Structure formats: C-alpha cells, structure tokens
A and B are shown apart, each in its own frame.
Chain A
Amino acid sequence: MKPPAPILDVRDLRVTFSGRGGRINALRGMSLQIQPGEVVGLVGESGSGKSVLGLTALGLLAAASDPQVTGSVQLDGFEMVGASPEGARQRRGTAIGAVFQDPMGSLNPVMKIGRQVAESAGGASDEEVAAMLEATGIRGPAAVARCFPHELSGGMRQRVMIAMALARHPKLIIADEPTTALDVTVQAKVLDLLATTARERGVALLLVTHDLGVAARICDRIAVAYAGRIVEQGTTEEILDGPRHPYALGLLASRPRLDGAVRGGLLPTLPGSAPDPTSSVVGCAFASRCPAADGACLTPVPEAHEDGRLVACHHPGELTTWPDRAAQVIKAAVAESAADGLAARKAGDPRTPAVVATGLVREFDGRRSGMLGRRGPALRAVGGIDLTVPAGGSVAIVGESGSGKSTLLRMIVGLLEPTEGTVRLAPGPSPQMVFQDAGASLTPWMSVGEHLAERLAAVGMPKREHAAAIDRALHAVGLPVDAAARRPAQLSGGQRQRAAIARAIVVPPPLIACDEPVSALDVSLAAQVLNLLCDLRQQLGLALLFVTHDLAAARAVADEVVVMQGGLVIERAPTDQLFTAPSHDYTRELIAAVPEAVAA
C-alpha cells in the first residue's frame, strides 16, 4: 500500500540570508517529511536552522534579511517556495497553525484574548471561543477571554497560543520551542496537551526544540538537525537507545542529568562550535568536532538510509560513547581549585557572606475588580524567608512559577523593596543580575561593547583600558570579539544571554544573581553557560544565587538547594541530599516532573 502523501514535504531546502560577512547559510539542503497525524521532533543546537525551517514552511521569513530560498516545501500539496504572498497567506490561514517560543511576546498586548482567538478562527462567537479555550485546559475560559495577555501566566498564554493554532482546524501545527520559557511543572502539562490534542484531532505536529528530553516525551519520530541539515532521523526509541550519528550521540551526552552523574562543576559539552554559517562546507559539517572523523569525512556525506533510518555519516554507529576529551582535561584542572575552594568553605570562608537576608516579606497590593471595584486582599508573594549565601558559595532556589522565587531574588539584589526584613550584602560592587530573557535586559540601540563599557565607566576604569577588559569578558563567555560592535538584535538568543553574562562579570561582583539563566537556551549552550558560571565562580570567587525551574541545572551548579512554594521555603538541603533523599512531597513531585530522555 502506498503511504499517504505527507502533509509537509521538505526537499533539499536551502535558505540564505544577507549578513555582514557574506550570505548566511541557514539551511544547507534540509529534507524532512511529516505524514498526516504524525508527531515529529526537530532537535538540534542553536543556529542549526530549526526555526528557519518552520518559518519557511509558514512563508514568514523576515523580509528585511533578504532571504533566498531554493528547494521545495510542499504544505499539504501546495508549494510554498516561490509562492505568491497571497497564496502563502491563504495556506497559512487554513493548513497550518503555529505556536512560538515566547508566550509573553507572541500575543498582542493590547487586544483581549477572546478577540485574538476568535480572529484566528476567522470569526467565532463568545461561546465558541470559550469552548476552544476550555479544550486547552483553561479554567474559567469566559473570564480568560476577557483578559489581556499580561494578566495571564506564561503557561496560560501558551495554552491560548495552542487554542489559536488549533482554531482553524489545521492539518499541521509547528510548535517552535513551545515550552522553553515555561516552568518545569507547566512544561510537562503543555507538552502533553499539545501531543494529546494533536493525536485526538489527527493533526500533525512538528515540535522544534533544543531539548531531546522534551522531544522524547511526546514524539513518534525525532530528526536531529546540524548546520542546516538533518543528520539523523529515526523513531524516538531508535534515537534514544543508540544514536548512530556522532552529533546525535554528543547531544544526548550533554544533557544535564538529574542523577547528577556529571556534578562537580562541569557538564560534558560538545567541544568546538558549528561551522561559520557564512562559509561553505566541504564534506561533513561536523568533522571539526567529531571524535570519529577521518579522511573520508572530508568528502560529501550521503544521506544514507540504513534500515529505514537516516544517518548522514560516513561511519554511522561507530561511536558509541562520547569521549568528551576536552571536558575531561578541564575538569581535572578545575577539580583541583574546586577542592581548594571547597576546603576553604568547609573551614569557614573567612570572607563575609555575599548575602545575609533575614525575615524577608513582600506583599503586593491586591487587584481591583473593575474601575471602581474594591481592592482585593494583598498578595503575600514572599512570606518571611531567611537566606545566606556564603562568599563564593552557590545556592539555587527552585519552585514552580508564582512561588515567589523571582520576587525573593529581586529583593536580595535591591531591585525591589522588601515589605519587611533586611538584606545585608558583602562590600564591593553591587550584585549583578542575569535574567532569563536576555533580549529584554539589553538596551536595543546599544552595542554589546557599550553595555560593558557602561559598567566599566561606572567603577571609574579609564577609557583606554575598556577595550581590553571588554575583550576579556567576551572571551570568558565565549563570544567572538566582533560581538562588541553588534547590537542585541544582531545576536542569536544564546549569544544575547552570553552578552548579558559578560555585562555582569566585566566588573566581577561578589554575587551574581541569575533568574532562569539557561531556560531559553539549547542544551549544549545551556551546558556551556552553566559551566561558565561555575568557572567564573571558581576563578573570581563569585557567589551564585540561582533561581531556576530546571532541577538538573540546579543540581549541576549549586551547593545548596532551597525549594519554595507559595512564598515560603518548604525544604532546604545540601544539593546531593536533596536529590537523593527529598523529604517533602512537593520536592519529589518537582523531581518527577523533569522530562528525562536518559534512562539513568
């Protein structure tokens, strides 16, 4: 029997953009088919072209970057490459729905939810809108429909996006990092919602993610992208049981794992970086990073099908464990200084603690109901918390969204006035903050260099020394030196995050406070950033205070973990103890909710 025609059929798709140093090769011959009703994960590190594939299928590549597209993208039999804007628009309206990463920015802030959903359906009554919202697990859908986006939590907004994507009964949904910006407990629910609704309605789903764990949770099939091509494709079991492409293996190995196998400061990372997108690639694009590379790898790689499983590699399956030599070497070096640091801490670091907070309480005014309505009761976001971060120590605060983590952090660094309680900081430069949404924390019209120079000037460093200090900071966070001249919009998401960290450490403060610093990054970048934070901590004697919903990240970085719920600390313990013997049900629940690709 002939298989049904694929709903999305991408063949040898090549996309280039105009860039400063020549044209950027975003996709270098990508091919991918999705059958009706199939749930497929597209996984790969930052810059591998995942989002560009989705946007090409939607016909929404940024015109300002002068995209040039060759190859073919058939959406339900309709050729999107070279389609007229009007033709592409009509297809978008009927065949395809989209869910994007950032639920905060993806909804129109000045339009009520109900109207945005109704519009997506091409017109719908209030009852129909409520039904659509309810189908995505939103409680009180009629009330939610009357809200503006900023009145909803991130998880709710993403449910709204899903309702909108489903509104026109499309045959395919493209979800680009739909849960990256969400809290871990919400993440799992939203993923399951996407998968079950897609399956119930027979809608195909392309899940774009950098997290193999996320893909593994819901996908039938996983395609691994590298440098604009698919390098391996197979069923989820096949990929997880034993990737046959070295890159896929590396990707699997660099996932922070809950079992803490890689604790001690360093996660294995894929050494090196993807080929410069402006250059053309001879042979295998992964060759410079591949432990199994040999002379044959400099010849073009076939898209070989092996037992129906695609592995674009000259030596498929040869590598079975990721050696991660580079990481081993660094690890040994750092272990020594870490041991010193640890000994010092055990003996009681003579320095004053980076932070001593006592009895912190923060209340927010209750909301008014309507124009003249009565003010609701005050919301107690943080209900009396003591917290000490020793000099050079590392404390992670975990908990679901709304538990008060960020409020606590913001009080500690002085961004928010506590209602009650005191914060005592170590002398020296004021603590620096690294936010999740680095794009928003950088000023759009200032270059990265200017951001760093601003802090240097603030501590009175003479101008002529700025360039060297900026180079050092950029180097420390793994950004190219020419990044100094670029503005935030000219960097990728991962690069912006590193720029934000560079700004925080260009003048080393006694404390760096991070609010979800890696939740918007792909695994290998996240690993690099976590390693970077650990390194900086060792080298500069910084203390880290770390708010995260990613327990694996917390385990990799923190000495002590504080679990918050409803504005209160419900459990706190040294990291190992918390993970091996959690004493509170809620902690166990959090640990269980982590999507785990790797059978420990």
Chain B
Amino acid sequence: MTRLFLNRALAMVAVLFGLAVAVFVLQVVIPTDPARAMVGSNAPEEVVAQARADLGYDQPIPAQFAAYLGRITRGDLQHSLHTHNPVSDDLGRFAPATIELGFYAALIAGALGLGLGLLLVGGGLVGRVARVVLVGWAAVPAFLTGMLLIVVFYSWLHVLPGSGRVDDDLLLPDGPTGLLTVDALLTGQFALLGNLISHLVLPAVTLALLPAVAIARTLHASLEQVMGEDYIRTARSKGLRERTVLLRHALRNAAGPTLTMAGLLVGLMLGGVVVVEQIFSWPGLGLYVTQSIAYSDFPAITGTTLALGAAYVVINFWVDVAQAVADPRLRSA
C-alpha cells in the first residue's frame, strides 16, 4: 500500500510537471502578445518593448521556461492585467465558491449515480423507465439543463433563486474557510445557511447531472458483470437475501471501474463549472477565467488553468488511492 501510494504520488508529480510544460507551450505558441495586452493596443512601441523586458519575454525560450518554473513553484503567478492583484490572491478569492459548488455537485453526482445505478440493476419497470430517461439526459448539454432549471424553478415556480451565491441583502459570514455553507454553520447562522443552500441547488444539480448519468451507467454495467461472477453464486448459495448479495458482495467489486470513471468525470465537471458559473452568475473561478479571456488577461488565464489542472491531477490521485482501498488485490501490487 505504501509502495502504491508513493508510486502514484510520483506519477502525480510527473503529470503536474507535464501540465506546467503544456501551459507554458500554449503561452509561447498563442499568437497574442502578452506585453501588448498589458500596456494596451495604443501604446507606443518603446513602452511595449519595455513591458516585454519587464516581463522577461525578451529572453530566450529556455530562460523564460526556467523563470516560469521558478515562479510557479514559489506560487507566484504574476499579476492579473485586469484586476492588478497577484493572480494567486485572485484565485484565493474566487476558488472557494467553485470548491463549494464542485463539492456539492460531486456529492449529488455520487449519490444520484449510486442510486440510479442500483435502480437499473433492479430491473423492472422503474429501472427500464429510468434507463430511457438517463440516455435522454446524457444527450442534453449542461447549459440547456441549467436554463431549463432556471425557467422552471425560478421563473415559473419561484421556489429557488436563479443566480449568485446568496441574496444581496444578506451579510456574508466572515468565516475562516471561505466556504460559505461551512462558515455559516460554524457561526451558527442557520437562516443564512438555508439561503446559501437554496442558491446552491440549481447550479449544483446542473453540474451533477451528466456525471451522475455516467456514473450510473458505468456502475450498472460493472454490477451486471459482477453479478455473473462465481462468488456471487457462492453468496447466493449461502441463502443470503438478494439485496445483501447486491450491496455487500457485488457493489464493492463493481467499485473499481466506477471510481475510474468518477476520476475522469472530474475533468468533465471542471469544464462544466465554467459554463454553469456563467449561467448562474456564480462568482467562482469559472466566472473569473471567462472575464480574463475577454481582457486577454494572460497571467490570470494561465494561473486558473494551472490551478484547475492541478486540482484534476490531485483528485485523481485520491481516486487511485480509493481504488486500492476498495480492492485488496491492488494493495499488494
């Protein structure tokens, strides 16, 4: 297990390095000139040259790369051209909203996926109907789902808010984590907590739907396969209830492929978060990066890309570890 842990950790570092390289290469090959973007398109040529020198873009590529690596390992992501704050500060400000949204979406996706997957295995009419609905859902892009939910629950039914993290007239908790629901809970502001959750529901569900469907289908497929295995026959021969056979014997054996799928889905969700934050005006990294694109704010874009990429890699590391916990055979490998 320790060995596996170290192996995976090493692989993670290698992938993170690859990510840094990829982002750097993108910066180099993109035809836009970051120095000009910084000083504005009307600035005289000397000013651009000066800015270029300040940013180090007049150096040869290898030197630029070395400087870049040095910077990002120190956590220095340069200053945003638009907000003029250090990008790392901006990320610190916008990330909690995204983390909160992502966390609840992942929770919903996991629970929904698990429930639907088990429902599908149960077969019967409910299972078959669920299956059709799922296949239909999987074809609907997130922005449509989001709009639809807003129209139904906000415009028509007026039961849920359709934008932002919290009602404007409420004072935000000044808590330690920046995750508002956690802070509200810690400071005992339950009315605020309710308001926060009502704002979370629609974007989190929108973000969770596609992954939930994918998880359900993967889980279903691997459960079907596992239910044909000899050890399931053994479990049945003990006279166990079918539900016990499914939950105790089949589910954990089916976890492997489902976890792999869940790891891949993290990428899908990180992409989805950009779209969903747009639709619901959710003040997170997605909104930050879309604005940065509008301003050709290179440091901000690179910084966010690095942060999201790193999140993906780190989450997948833990997925690998979870897999090893679920399957003892991997542990001794």
Contact = CB atoms under 8 A, between A and B. Distances in A.
Interface of A: 58, 60, 62, 64, 85, 89-94, 96-98, 100, 102, 105-111, 119-120, 148, 150-151, 161, 164, 168, 367-368, 371-372
Interface in B223-280: 228-231, 233-242, 248-249, 252-253
B233 A94 contact: no
Contact of B253 (A64, A98, A108): A108
Contacts, number: 79
Contacts of A107: 231, 234
A335 to B, nearest CB: 43
Nearest to A112: B328
Contacts of B231: 105-109
Given A89-B241, A119-B238, A106 B230 contact: yes
B239 A106 contact: no
A474 B2 CA distance: 47
A98 B237 contact: yes
Contacts of A150: 328-329, 332
B1 interface: yes
Nearest to B224: A64
A373 to B, nearest CB: 10
Given A105-B229, A367-B332, A371-B2, A100 B239 contact: no
A168 B240 CA distance: 12
Contacts of B329: 109-110, 148, 150
A92 B332 contact: no
B328 A110 contact: yes
A119 B236 CA distance: 11
B147 interface: no
A97 B238 CA distance: 7
A89 B242 CA distance: 9
Given A106-B231, A107-B234, 19 more contacts: A60-B233, A60-B236, A85-B242, A89-B239, A91-B239, A92-B238, A93-B238, A93-B240, A98-B234, A100-B230, A108-B234, A108-B253, A109-B327, A110-B327, A111-B252, A119-B238, A119-B240, A150-B328, A372-B2
A509 to B, nearest CB: 30
Overall SS of chain A's interface: mixed
Contacts of A371: 1-2
A109 B241 CA distance: 20
Contacts of A94: 239
Interface residues of B, number: 25
B238 A109 contact: no
B249 A93 contact: no
Contacts of A96: 237
12 contacts: A92-B239, A93-B238, A100-B234, A107-B234, A108-B249, A110-B253, A111-B248, A111-B249, A119-B238, A119-B240, A150-B329, A164-B234
A456 to B, nearest CB: 29
A438 to B, nearest CB: 15
A96 B1 CA distance: 39
Contacts of B328: 109-110, 148, 150
B253 A109 contact: yes
Instruction: Report which residue of B228, B230, B248, B332 has the largest number of chain A beta carbons within 10 angstroms of its beta carbon.
Output: B230
Instruction: Report which residue of B1, B238, B328 has the largest number of chain A beta carbons within 10 angstroms of its beta carbon.
Output: B238
B326 interface: yes
Nearest to B238: A120
Contacts of B249: 108, 111
A58 B237 CA distance: 7
Contacts of A168: 238-239
Interface in B203-239: 228-231, 233-239
Given A60-B233, A98-B234, A109-B231, A90 B239 contact: yes
Contacts of B248: 111, 119
A89 B236 CA distance: 8
Interface in B88-106: none
Interface string B1-14: 11000000000000
Nearest to A365: B3
Contacts of A100: 230, 233-234
Contacts of B237: 58, 60, 92, 96-98
A105 B238 contact: no
A568 B168 CA distance: 80
A110 B234 contact: no
A422 B108 CA distance: 57
Contact of B233 (A91, A106, A148, A372): A106
A79 to B, nearest CB: 17
Given A89-B239, A92-B239, A94-B239, A110 B252 contact: yes
Contact of A102 (B230, B252, B253): B230
A164 B252 contact: no
Nearest to A167: B238
B190 to A, nearest CB: 41
Given A89-B241, A93-B239, A148-B329, A161 B234 contact: yes
A361 B2 CA distance: 28
Interface in B286-333: 326-329, 332
A168 B239 CA distance: 10
A367 B237 CA distance: 34
A119 B229 CA distance: 18
A102 B1 CA distance: 28
Contacts of B236: 58, 60, 89, 92
A174 to B, nearest CB: 9
A89 B237 CA distance: 8
Contacts of A110: 252-253, 326-329
A367 B248 CA distance: 29
Instruction: Report which residue of B230, B235, B239, B242 has the largest number of chain A beta carbons within 10 angstroms of its beta carbon.
Output: B239
Contacts of B332: 150-151, 367
Contacts of B252: 110-111
A8 to B, nearest CB: 15
B235 to A, nearest CB: 7
Contacts of B229: 105
